[in-house]
Amino acid sequence: MTAGLRRRERGRLSNYGNRGETMGKNIVLLGPPGAGKGTQGQRLAEKLDEPHIASGDIFRQLRGQDTPLAQKVKGYMERGEYVPDDLTIRVVLERLSQPDARQGFILDGFPRTEPQAQALDNSGRSVDVALYINAPVDVLVERISRRYTCPKCHAIYEASRRSPKKEMTCDVCGAPLERRADDAPEVVRPRLQTYLDKTRPLVDYYERLGTLVEIDGAQTIEVVEREVDRALRLPAG
């Protein structure tokens, strides 16, 4: 086991490797902005043929819908209010009921609270592995302040780690890249600390269940990829 990967093997995580390669994997990605969980989520979605479900993307899609559930969510979003746990849980579980997620999923941005995590487990879609990709705050601030995002497909680029092939143009969809105003260092640092403080109970929850795997996201992308694959018992390459 490498220094960058920490596994607390108990119960379900110990048994996880014996479930068989044909079964789907229910994965939760935890980690602050800039740690690289979005990059790993997209990669794992292709490798496992499972949907990478980001809660932010779900809520953005709801803006264009006219269902009763979408109207409730939009009301909170338009007022700039936190969407309550019960409503967030309904939205995510509805997404997980769709055919592409029935054999497995990769959740990114959900759960954010322990009640959300408990609701997910109690729904019958319990988590096999919670991947916690973390990095020192100084590393995260530097990365975020140097990143660009695609407003169309939400791909993320960072100058020293993942640069677009064509300057300021998204490799995926060809849209012009943008730098978010709230990615400035003076804004990022307190936001990161708030995230880490709020996420600690969730990390502790999955650690108690024995499903938590912590990975050092300060390493190179290649090393992080190898450790993620090792944590999920996936073949190299």
Active-site annotation, residues = 37, 112, 147, 180, 191
For tokens 């960072």, what's the residue?
Answer: 158
User: Which neighbouring-strand residues pair with 106?
Assistant: 27, 52
CA distances from 4 to 54, 216, 230 (A): 25, 5, 12
CA distance 30 to 134: 8
User: Which neighbouring-strand residues pair with 168?
Assistant: none
Rg (CA), the chain: 18
User: How many other β-carbons are positioned within 10 Å of the β-carbon of residue 62?
Assistant: 19
> CA angle, corner 79, sides to 75 and 84, nearest 5?
60
